[in-house]
Chain A
């Protein structure tokens, strides 16, 4: 299994500001994923972050709103830009088990509240 650390674990932000969430993995991984879980809902994939290339965004998510960095094989950041109350959510970093069988490991999540 992989140990994934996210920070901040929670934050309360003002409308119009931006927040960067960090994700650190204890081993080198090729692919990292960023998910969003809105209140009372399931997980939705925002984007796949590959080291050395641009992130791949899912339908409904754009780079200007959710810029992602992936400077090396153990670290990634997700920025939530120009936040509105609709961005209040839990943001989860995830990696896939070696061999890419689809089994995922998650960070503890970053709970974001936008006022």
Chain B
């Protein structure tokens, strides 16, 4: 089993739709959680951190459920510019450096 698993997708949605991505992680010692966005042929960039209390940034809402080891990302009122691959990332500090583990990503295409 992979340490971080995401919905495989792809998700194809019309503009204005609401879409949710799910992610589960297997290591209960994981400490920090993130959603990254990766555009085609570009490097990943942080979209938002994920907290147990949930956090919202405009149209984006991220949730963490430590008991279920589950992370979600909700995008409301999808825009064409939201089309990208979304990566779930889990961080664990088991050494001085720590280690980030990436999910395989979920591809979103928003269509007019």
Interface residue ranges, A against B (CB under 8 Å): 31, 33, 41-45, 48, 50, 56, 92, 96, 100-109, 111
Contacts and interface: CB of A to CB of B under 8 A. Distances in A.
Contacts of A96: 97-98
Contacts of B31: 102
B70 interface: no
A50 B34 CA distance: 24
23 contacts: A33-B97, A33-B100, A42-B87, A43-B44, A43-B87, A45-B100, A92-B43, A100-B98, A101-B91, A102-B31, A102-B34, A102-B91, A102-B93, A102-B98, A103-B46, A104-B44, A104-B89, A106-B43, A106-B45, A107-B43, A108-B43, A109-B42, A111-B41
Contacts, number: 58
B87 A108 contact: no
Interface in B72-105: 87, 89, 91, 93, 95-105
> Looking at chain A's contact residues, is the secondary structure mostly helix, strand, loop, or mixed?
strand
Contacts of A105: 46
A96 to B, nearest CB: 7
Interface of B: 31-32, 34, 36, 41-46, 49, 87, 89, 91, 93, 95-105
A56 B97 contact: yes
B97 A48 contact: yes
A107 B45 CA distance: 10
B103 A42 contact: yes
